[in-house]
A and B are shown apart, each in its own frame.
Chain A
């Protein structure tokens, strides 16, 4: 069963628009970690953020912000005032403490963001 669902396959926006990427996860663990990674057209995978299950504070980093809601098992990612350089595939991932001793993450299928000028 898919533990991390990124329902949006592709999102297209015009530069300066905001874009929100949804991530819904499924776990029975009380301790778990959520991640977002970015894969630009050049292909590398870049770490963006880590959040543990006990820290529900939202986070902002420049134009990026993350909304973690345990009640809905969601960890959504918003890019404000998007730029062409934000065009990439974005992956959400889950790591569960009880079932994963060695970092076997469950990745979502990814959301392709296309930002046009």
Chain B
């Protein structure tokens, strides 16, 4: 069983479209995250939810909106996609406290905006 699963794995879309990436974890973790990895491989946190509550909201354009219907799911919706949104997006989850246990990452979603 996949611990943290993201769908889709690849997403190619045109500028201006709206798209969503889904994430589910079956580890029973309370905290979930979205990270963005740019073309230089740099990893930057975007959002975090703890038991459906938003706890980290970095400086991210408000075209990005996370949604957590329950603690096992954290989805990422992106409106009006721009070329600069092209990146790999990773979902992750963690036992609390995360700093002690570290993340379990999903396999990533490669978003390409054309």
Contacts and interface: CB of A to CB of B under 8 A. Distances in A.
B78 interface: no
Interface in A77-117: 89, 91, 95-97, 100-105, 107, 109-110, 112
Contact of B99 (A89, A96, A109): A96
Contact of A43 (B55, B88, B102): B88
Residues of A in contact with B, size category: 20 to 34
Interface in A15-55: 32-33, 35, 37, 39, 42-47, 50, 52
B41 A95 contact: no
Contacts of A103: 31, 33, 48, 94, 97-99, 103
Contacts of B98: 95, 102-103, 105
Contacts of A44: 105-108
A95 B43 contact: no
Contacts of A35: 102
Interface of A: 32-33, 35, 37, 39, 42-47, 50, 52, 89, 91, 95-97, 100-105, 107, 109-110, 112
